[in-house]
A and B are shown apart, each in its own frame.
Chain A
Amino acid sequence: MVPLDYYLILSAIVFAIGVVGVLARRNLIVILMSIELMLNAVNLTFIAFSRFLGSMEGQVAVFFVMAVAAAEAVIGLAIIISVFRQRQSLDPEEMQLLKW
């Protein structure tokens, strides 16, 4: 049986990689995909704790995270499409209409 700590460290690494994607990349679609990666790292933590505590609540939480992630992906992609129609660009640096 693989110890719980291994799973937790793995999901921390994947989460940190997702953070790099959100902060460093200049493409809205890649940013959204990195957010999905971070959500999945959290899901892995939920499932690992659920198994090691012998409780089903973690799996139910993952179910809800998936539902919210689906909604988030749909809305995010719709926003990306309408932004691209306006400016023909996916670079978040160019979106500065509200910037000081």
Chain B
Amino acid sequence: MDASTLIFFALAALLVVSSLLVVLLPNVVHGAMALIAALLLISIFFVMLQAPMVGVLQVLVYAGAIMVLFLFVIMFLNPARQPRGGAWLGFSVLLALLLGGGLAAMLTKTETAADPVAATDLFGSPEMLAKSLFGDFVLPFEIASVLLLVAIVGAVVLAKRER
């Protein structure tokens, strides 16, 4: 077992533990902290998979902007401690085991070359991502900007105090 595999298993164990903490911790703020840890670990995996640009975006957008928004809302609402689900817990764990096992079995059946395509230095760079994004995917990109505008307007309308 080489070094990269060992690092992978260490990071994977940390990721699974922090994801479990998100789901299991009774305090919402602690859960949000665990989610930030999970998101940072996923960004490390992105960098390991030659996607440095997406990894940086992950830290900026997810661990930065979205999680700050979550923490603001948690502190704004200050929700009381709430019990974990009782009757549904066993059922949902069973369902999730079935789903996870099925997903893993299905995904690992996909036929890909054991030896990955040799990545060039440019693979995953901002340049390659931009060429793809503003070339083949320019229309979805513009639609995404409209979607974000709709989200901004919707959030303002929804969270506005009723008069």
* Count of A interface residues, CB-CB < 8 Å: 72
In terms of DSSP, what is the predominant structure of the interface of chain A? helix
A18: which B residues are within 8 A, CB to CB?
19, 23
A85: which B residues are within 8 A, CB to CB?
161
Question: CA of A62 to CA of B107 in the docked complex: distance in angstroms?
Answer: 18
Whether the Cβ atoms of B84 and A24 lie closer than 8 Å is yes
Q: Chain A, 1-45, contact with B by CB distance < 8 Å: what is the 0/1 string?
A: 111111111111111111111011111011011101100100111
B112: which A residues are within 8 A, CB to CB?
4, 49, 52-53
Using C-beta atoms within 8 Å of the partner chain, give the interface range for chain B.
Answer: 35 or more
From B15, B118, B119, A14 is in contact (CB under 8 Å) with: B15
Residues of A within 8 A of B (CB): 1-21, 23-27, 29-30, 32-34, 36-37, 40, 43-45, 47-54, 56-57, 59-60, 62-64, 66-75, 77-82, 84-85, 90-91
Q: Lowest 3 A-B CB distances belong to which pairs? A: A54-B117, A16-B100, A23-B92
Residues of B within 8 A of A (CB): 4-5, 8, 12, 15-16, 19-20, 22-23, 28, 31-32, 35, 38-39, 42, 45-46, 48-51, 53-54, 57-58, 61-62, 65-66, 69-70, 73-74, 76-77, 79, 82-85, 88-89, 91-93, 95-97, 99-101, 103-104, 107-108, 110, 112-114, 116-119, 123-124, 128-129, 131-133, 136-137, 140, 144, 147-148, 150-152, 154-155, 158-159, 161
